[in-house]
Homo-oligomer: A and B are copies of this chain.
Amino acid sequence: MQGDLRGDEPLSGYGLLVGDLIGVAVFAASGASAAIAKRLDLFGVAFVGFVAALGGGILRDLVIGSVPPLAFADWRYAVTAVTTSVAVFWLHPQLSRLRRTVLLLDAAGLGLFTVTGTLKALNAGVPPVGACLVGMLTAIGGGLARDLLTGEIPVVLQRDIYAVASLCGAILVTILHAAGLAGPIPTVAAAVLITGVRLLALRRRWSAPVAVP
């Protein structure tokens, strides 16, 4: 039994890390692409990539009092973000052909970051409503910071079902957690669900309403 747990935990921890780093790489690529489009230099591209990938997690860790934030405490996060950004800097002409792949990975990152952010907040003792908000901010915070750094009104506030998919997923994770069901399989399912809703919203061009002028 104990052996089972011991055998399980590192695996799920390792899986979580790999998932997290994939999310970091994808969000770094989105930040780097935005920075290249604004003609920023190599440092600017790496910096915006770093912030897009890790800004949400830094905000989460500050809010739940986990300092220094993971982005500074574990070198693999920063190295993944910066390496990806520099690779995008050199390879970006080829990347335009990968637009669909990037949107798919971005949706996966949204799901992963929402779930890990919500669970970390709940485990740090944040009450349910706050934990849902922290989970969503973990997922959308990096994109918000990316847009502010490149002089844009954040795209997440303007159109599409993006943050709403994240928020619904955070609520689902919080309910699962309250019911004692936040094991690996249900949480992975929640991440997949968020990703699926996001992809469906993209395909069907779902978007949130805009106020009548």
Contact = CB atoms under 8 A, between A and B. Distances in A.
Assembly stoichiometry (copies): 3
A67 B61 CA distance: 10
Nearest to A38: B153
Contact of A75 (B62, B128, B144): B128
A199 to B, nearest CB: 18
A170 interface: no
Contacts of A124: 68
A209 interface: yes
A43 interface: yes
Interface string A103-137: 00000000000000000010011111111011000
Contacts of A36: 211
B130 A72 contact: yes
Contacts of A130: 68, 71-73, 75, 78
Counting chain A residues whose Cβ lies within 8 A of the other chain, the interface size class is 35 or more
- Secondary structure class of chain A's binding surface, majority of residues: helix
Contact of A126 (B43, B44, B72, B121): B72
A64 B67 contact: yes
Interface of A: 35-36, 38-45, 47-48, 58, 62-65, 67-69, 71-75, 78-79, 89-90, 92-93, 121, 124-131, 133-134, 144, 148-154, 156-159, 163-164, 207-212
